[in-house]
Amino acid sequence: MLLRKKGFPEEDELVMCTVTKVQFHSVFANMDEYGKSGMIHISEVSPGRIRNIRDFVKEGKKIVCKVLRINTERGHIDLSLRRVTETQQRKKVDEIKQEQKAEKILEFVVRDLKLDMNKLFNDISSSISEKYISLYDFFQHVVADSNAIKDAGVDAKTGKTLEEAIKSRIKEVKIKIESKLKLTSFAANGVDIVKEALKKAEEAGKENILIKYLGAGSYNVTVNGKDYKEAENILEKASEKALEYIRKNDGDGELVRVKA
């Protein structure tokens, strides 16, 4: 089951669809998350010339599409299949699986407290839509911060049961990023200055940063965070502290990004 969102999707949004009708020059598909139908023109099915449209789609097939245009007055939605990359497709499929996992957690709470599933889903969705990208994203934040449920306006009884269900089924995710920090000192006590610069970086990153010596004035910097934004902020603050200190003490350095 995939609970339906209210309203229309946004232009350029990726949506999971089920093909409902295949015609000679067009394909009609139902957007699973919104319960609305969209059309894919043959030119948006695949790049290049298409001899038989059924070589690419057929009724009942699940496909990931990009929303091109929306006419809310007429209810028309134009979709594209060919503009979705393989990476985007895999990411969307993973997101749907995560959302289904989140809905399973809601189902447990609904059964336990004898609540209305759609009402609980809509109440939570309406209160978190501006801050979180999905129900699963909200649940991940609950794992890291219990106050997230209270901030979402969920009543105490439901919130307690929901939090217990979330934390027993979703583990906190840690993001890891790596970079190289190059430090050079021209002072007589350069070794001590470099050590102090690294200490400044470690103090800024606290328990979320690990620095290892690589050789020739290079150090591997590993940072952990709840998400990429947090990890990047920690890396930036830590490296700034190290570079600021060493430049004030007759030295120089740079942060070199490591390609994933």
Helix/strand/coil (H, E, C) string of 90-137? HHHHHHHHHHHHHHHHHHHHHHHHCCCHHHHHHHHHHHHCCCCCCHHH
Which tokens is 225 given?
Answer: 């965070």
Amino acid making up residue 147: N
Q: What residues of the chain score a pLDDT lower than 70? A: 1-2, 173, 259-260
**Crossing angle of helices 86-113/117-128, nearest 10°?**
130
Q: Hey, is 220 helix, strand or coil?
A: strand
Domains for the chain: give ranges and CATH numbers.
14-83 (2.40.50.140), 87-169 (1.10.150.190), 175-257 (3.30.70.1130)
pLDDT in tens, 200-238: 999 998 888 999 999 889 999 999 887 788 889 999 999
Is the pTM value of this prediction over 0.85? no
How far is residue 232's CA from residue 223's CA, in Å, rounded to a whole number?
Answer: 8
Q: Hey, is 43 helix, strand or coil?
A: helix
